[in-house]
């Protein structure tokens, strides 16, 4: 990748569908609030696919249920991150760690970029991959994403990725907005493109099942995927209480089994569930002022949680929110971590 490309990307940032257009090189910030690329941490990781995972700080979503909130809500929650690492240095580290006995022991065979959200650091990650493949040309790369990238960014991701793990939060736009602050439309567009035209890169779609909030999103997401290709792999993840949803009940085992059964009945061939079910909690009450802002119950409940955590713009929409640079959600510190 040319250095000029790196500069242009950050000078007028349009890497994700927020298309903020800010000059990150001059310290301007968009929805993600990130300027220079920051590494949160890097370590060998067992989660499929086993890899040396580089967690990047910051995210273009403000998901109420984020289990990686100490990383994703950088820089507003004050948590320490590793910091900027020269691409050449990080590449050498990744290749070295993947050649270690520990990596072989767990079957780690690739670099995985995660977060937070990898897309907001795309030009930096391209440089890391370029340098890693100078050392070891057949270096494999996994890209873990929430899918909220432009079509151009998706093309770039596909140009260097060996595999992609793709999160699907919700199908209906207002549920997705209430839960993440962003629209589901670009996510579904990109999910469909990968499923139809780059299915060899897709490791799996991942769907977090949140009781009462995204339960009703499972069937439309299943139908969406089945319509693309019923052989595509889907992993349902059991929600566990975290971040703004710290007191919300976790997904029960019976719910997760039901999701798999519904998926198989709908024609999906490769589906399973994972996670830690049955963590107790209590649903919040619906806020009266939120009921009129959303039509779907899941969105109403998510919106109620967002309001209680300080989000005053409803329906949620981080791109147009006048408070997106002083967002109380990004600064939220939960009392409970599961």
- Residues 188-214 pLDDT 10s: 999 999 999 999 999 999 999 999 999
pLDDT at 1: 46
pLDDT at 5: 63
Mean pLDDT (the chain, rounded): 96
- Residues 236-291 pLDDT 10s: 999 999 999 999 999 999 999 999 999 999 999 999 999 999 999 999 999 888 99
- Residues 209-234 pLDDT 10s: 999 999 999 999 999 999 999 999 99
Say yes or no to pLDDT of 40 above 90: yes
Distances (CA, A) of 123 to 5, 41, 187, 276: 8, 18, 20, 35
Nearest one of 325, 328, 306 to 315, comparing CA atoms:
306
Q: Where in the chain is the domain with CATH 3.80.30?
A: 168-338
- Residues 131-184 pLDDT 10s: 999 999 999 999 999 999 999 999 999 999 999 999 999 999 999 999 999 999
CA 168/CA 222 separation, integer angstroms: 11
CA 320/CA 283 separation, integer angstroms: 29
pLDDT at 4: 56
SS (H, E, C) 257-290: HHHHHHHHHCCCCEEEEECCCCCCCCCCCCCHHH
The mean pLDDT value for 73-79 works out to 93
**Model confidence, pTM:** 0.95
Nearest one of 69, 316, 320, 293 to 184, comparing CA atoms:
316
Say yes or no to pLDDT of 2 above 90: no
pLDDT at 23: 97
Query: In this prediction, what percent of the chain has a pLDDT beyond 90?
Result: 94
> Domain spanning 168-338 has what CATH number?
3.80.30
Two tokens, residue 131: 């340098």
3-class DSSP assignment, residue 176 = helix
Burial 190-219 (b: 16+ CB within 10 A, else e): bbebbbeeeeebbbbbbbbbbbebbbebbe
Residue 48 half-sphere exposure, CB side, CA atoms within 13 Å? Answer: 15
């Amino acid at each position: 990748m040319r250095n000029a490309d790196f500069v242009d990307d950050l000078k007028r940032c349009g890497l994700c569908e927020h298309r903020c257009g800010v000059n990150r090189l001059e310290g301007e910030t968009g929805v993600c609030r990130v300027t220079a690329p920051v590494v949160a941490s890097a370590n060998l990781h067992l989660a499929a696919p086993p890899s040396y995972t580089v967690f990047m700080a910051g995210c273009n979503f403000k998901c109420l249920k984020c289990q990686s909130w100490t990383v994703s809500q950088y820089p507003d929650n004050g948590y320490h991150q590793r910091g900027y690492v020269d691409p050449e240095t990080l590449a050498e580290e990744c290749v070295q760690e993947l050649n270690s006995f520990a990596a072989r022991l767990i079957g780690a065979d690739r670099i995985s970029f995660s977060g937070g959200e990898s897309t907001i650091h795309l030009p930096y990650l391209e440089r890391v991959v370029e340098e890693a493949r100078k050392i070891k040309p057949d270096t494999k790369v996994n890209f873990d994403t929430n899918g909220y990238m432009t079509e151009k960014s998706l093309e770039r991701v596909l140009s260097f990725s060996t595999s992609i793990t793709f999160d699907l939060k919700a199908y209906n736009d207002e549920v997705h907005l209430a839960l993440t602050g962003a629209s589901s439309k670009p996510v579904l567009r990109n999910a469909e493109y990968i499923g139809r035209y780059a299915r060899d890169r897709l490791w799996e779609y991942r769907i977090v099942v949140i009781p009462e909030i995204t339960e009703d999103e499972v069937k439309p997401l299943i139908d969406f995927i089945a319509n693309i290709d019923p052989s595509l792999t889907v992993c349902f993840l059991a929600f566990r209480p975290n971040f703004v949803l710290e007191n919300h009940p976790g997904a029960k085992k019976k719910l997760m089994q039901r999701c798999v059964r519904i998926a198989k009945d709908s024609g999906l061939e490769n589906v399973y569930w994972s996670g830690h079910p049955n963590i107790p909690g209590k649903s919040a009450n619906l806020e009266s002022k939120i009921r009129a802002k959303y039509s779907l119950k899941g969105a109403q409940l998510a919106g109620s949680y967002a309001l209680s955590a300080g989000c005053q713009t409803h329906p949620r929409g981080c791109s147009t929110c006048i408070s997106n640079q002083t967002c109380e959600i990004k600064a939220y510190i939960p009392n409970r971590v599961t």
